[in-house]
Amino acid sequence: MTKDANFIYDQIRFKNSLLCVGLDPDIEKMPSIYIKNQYPLFDFCKDVIECTQDFAIAYKLNVAFFESHGPAGWKQLADVIRLIPENCLIIADAKRADIGNTSQQYASYYFDTLGADAITLHPYMGKDSLEPFLKYREKWSIILSLTSNQGSQDFEFQKLETGEYLYEKVMHTYLDSPYNANLMFVCGATHPSEFIHIRKICPDHFLLVPGVGTQGGELKSIIIKGKNKQGGLLINVSRKITYPEQDSDYRKAVYNAAKNYQREMAAYLYE
């Protein structure tokens, strides 16, 4: 099933939400009830998905938190992906990229074998390194552009001799490729002042926005500045939903946290 832009726009309207729920199953942080299970990552993610699916447009699976468990982690990643409802986008937050024949291995695994709808990608090695992903025209390639961490200052905000920031050059370069229809860009919520400018670079593309919640990005400002006519934002919240401060009734706390984010998003979405 192809989850194209219209599919996502429909979900945004239907659920009145821009919420992407980040699944970072961290044994150190999840409620202790899961830890002794045979498949703790799976059981934890299953509960989170069940409690958030009314509000989530997308789920972003942080691959590192599965990979770090070796073969059992990968089995659970595949099983979690199969749980995600049909009406939600499945984003593999894998941050891959390599030379062509190697990227092809990753693309085929994430898209064909695991059935992800989208994958996050490092732009540094240039267009040919991402082509194997981009060629999947019915899938989404989500390119790291302006990330939410402090280190975004080190290179992404370096000015080129043309006057552009590197992150702008990254966006322009991939937008100028023949595969620009199935692109999204990662733009961190910790840089609200850049969003108006980013929207000039790509008025119609989806932006995947990490950094709301634990990392401190401000939701209202991002939505007002970053939305387009049909929404056009997938705003990721991970820890503030999946590791609520009050978790005596864990499932209820997750449900409420997701609902609160959805309501706040809805308030600004059509403002």
Q: Which residues bind to a copy of itself, rule: CB under 8 A?
A: 24, 26, 62, 64-65, 67-68, 70-72, 74-75, 78, 93, 95-103, 105-106, 108-109, 113, 122-129, 144, 147-156, 158-161, 163, 166, 169-170, 173, 210
Cβ 146 vs Cβ 167: under 8 Å: yes
Q: Closest CB to a copy of itself among 4 and 98?
A: 98
CA distance 258 to 244: 10
Query: Min. distance of Cβ 25 from a copy of itself in angstroms?
Result: 10
| Closest distance to a copy of itself from the beta carbon of 230 (Å) | 28
State the Cα–Cα distance between residues 54 and 258, nearest whole angstrom: 9
Q: Which is nearer to a copy of itself, 173 or 246 (CB)?
A: 173
Per DSSP, the three-state class of 207 is: strand
| Contact present, 67 and 96 (Cβ < 8 Å) | no
Roughly what angle, to the nearest 10 degrees, separates helices 127-134 and 166-175?
50
Gap between the Cα atoms of 159 and 152, Å rounded: 12
Note the Cα 102 to chain centre separation in Å.
Answer: 23
Shortest CB 46 distance to a copy of itself, Å = 19
For residue 159, the minimal CB distance to a copy of itself (Å) is 5
Q: Which residues pair with 62 in a beta bridge?
A: 93
Report DSSP state, residue 151.
G
Based on CB atoms, which residue is closest to a copy of itself, 14 or 155?
A: 155
- The DSSP code for 228 is B
> Around Cβ 214, how many Cβ atoms within 10 Å?
12
Q: Which residue among 46, 75, 95, 135 is the active-site one?
A: 95
Q: CB nearer to a copy of itself: give 163 or 178.
A: 163
Closest distance to a copy of itself from the beta carbon of 263 (Å): 27
Q: How far apart (Å, rounded) are the C-alpha atoms in residues 138 and 118?
A: 9
Q: How far is the CB of 236 from a copy of itself (least distance, A)?
A: 12
What is the distance between the alpha carbons of residues 161 and 70, in angstroms, rounded to a whole number?
44
How far is it, in rounded angstroms, from Cα 81 to Cα 83? 5
Q: Is 135 a catalytic residue?
A: no
Residues 241 and 258: beta-carbon distance below 8 Å: yes
| Residue 21 and residue 210 in contact, taking contact as beta carbons nearer than 8 Å | no
Residue closer to a copy of itself (CB basis): 69 or 259 = 69
Q: Pick the closer one to a copy of itself by CB: 53 or 147.
A: 147
**Would you please indicate which residues are annotated as catalytic (active-site) residues?**
95
